[in-house]
Amino acid sequence: MSDFEDTLIQATDYALCAATVVHQALLLQPKSPASILMMTSMHELEALRALLESALIQVQMPAEPRTLH
């Protein structure tokens, strides 16, 4: 596993933890004036996780062989 791949995995884990914290905060105070900001943060964290997972898949894919002409 490369250092870059390890970093992507760690970043994905941190994004998941942050999304979990936001989710718990929303459960505790769903009517809070800040809830719209928390929902927006959750949406952005989910988008970040999707991008990180996509990058991780790309890193883990074997390099395509080059065609020699």
Asked whether residue 42 is domain-assigned, the answer is: yes
Q: Residue 3's pLDDT is what?
A: 95
The residues near 4 (Cβ < 8 Å, ≥ 6 apart) are 59
Q: Residue 55's pLDDT is what?
A: 96
* Helix ranges, 1-69 (H): 3-28, 35-60
CA dist., res. 56 & res. 25, Å (int): 29
Full domain range(s) for residue 23? 3-60
Asked whether residue 29 is domain-assigned, the answer is: yes
Count the domains in the chain.
1
Q: Residue 18's pLDDT is what?
A: 96
Asked whether residue 34 is domain-assigned, the answer is: yes
Is residue 67 within 8 Å of 30, Cβ to Cβ?
Answer: no
- Confirm whether pTM is higher than 0.85: no
pLDDT tens track, the chain, 69 positions: 789 999 999 999 999 999 999 999 999 998 999 999 999 999 999 999 999 999 999 999 887 766 666
CA dist., res. 16 & res. 60, Å (int): 20
DSSP secondary structure letter of residue 61: S
Asked whether residue 12 is domain-assigned, the answer is: yes
